[in-house]
Structure 1
């Protein structure tokens, strides 16, 4: 998903840049900049953009129009959009949509200011391509079970845990008192934990298997039941208070993940989907500079 995001968003930014600067130049006069007395004219600026980025920008703009026309004929539900948002929030390690937008802006320098804008300009097209890619693909329960049995080593026992890491035993005892008094574990992790990765996320470490954590931590985590909280556990990093929030150790726990894996294996690629819908579109290139833009597709 992230690979597609880079490609889609990169071209979207190019398109916005060209359009924005073109509009500004038309409004403010012929010069877009003056450098030590030398003007860069609107014509020079636009010509440079067309020469350097014209092919990929025009192709993206055409693909965007074609895809939007296809989207109108697809039934994309709010539930489908929310499912994709949940996946993306999980990938980015954030809890809500505000944090997701902030993370996308920070990590990818995206132009999206609001969640509605992000959904309409990126997420809905992404879901549309996914629907077209998986059209006609059917994954049965027998398929999933067979895959699990053939690849059982890929699905080891895992736990999902949160922890509060503190430097000394006295602080650990203080935090334990607050937990026993009914205070929220996640909020205490945000307040007390010295782990810069998990602390801001309420202590969440996501799923992990054996051999991924230091021995004292692993031993305690795998001995806990879901929602059980450990006594302070000392390791080389300090004192951990551990809460197990989920566990995976059977086919049922991995069934959804296996279905997604099989879907990915049997689905068309994004490029194949775009080639199909572009082949059905009526596209006429009027600028001779881009006359050969789709010549490779026509030859195929």
Structure 2
């Protein structure tokens, strides 16, 4: 089942597993315990460096406002402020992350060369592939079908919720990135609601690191749907445990998006039942 971490926002979760999966790929010789401990410590340092990088060039008043927002815990206000004062926020985070990971790898391998060789855990490593993703869902008895080099996974809805369908493919030049694309079955909107749905997606994307919300229109029904997409970089080699973390958390963030989309639908059509669609003809597969 997905890893529901309610104590951290989606941005923190996305950064944390980026750190862990990158370190796992570059330092395969570390044990799972050492990897988790290292990723935790690197994550703490990363947040400090990101704060320093983002505060550079700000006025004293802007720094005061920035510190208040960071301490306040309101992700929506914080991200709105960032869009205005530091539109390069995501590029800055990516640069700081890459530099810190490279620094940590140099430090670790200088004292422990075997960390980069993977001798201790070589039997646990698997080549990144769609097969390792399929093994994750097989182990959990989650309904899915294989279509050449991609998976179609169906998660049953709870209570009055409908199903969620997630497509998983391998991407990147070296096929070392999972791309998860999903939608909530039956959650769609009439054409006249498109502007409001687009406004929701824009707001979500400003507030949330992953997944990204995309509004698509079904050419046959002319109804709008919100599609969620997330990219999880895993590296060329990975253990089953790391696959479980990457896919579990990725699916959990998609569930978070679709929960909000359901609330948007309820708000727009309080007395209407959600329309049913044929998932085999989804806009994702087209």
* TM-score bin, normalised by smaller chain: under 0.3
How does the TM-score come out when normalised to structure 2? 0.25
Structure richer in helix, relative to its length: 1
Structure richer in strand, relative to its length: 2
How does the TM-score come out when normalised to structure 1? 0.25
**Rg larger in structure:** 1
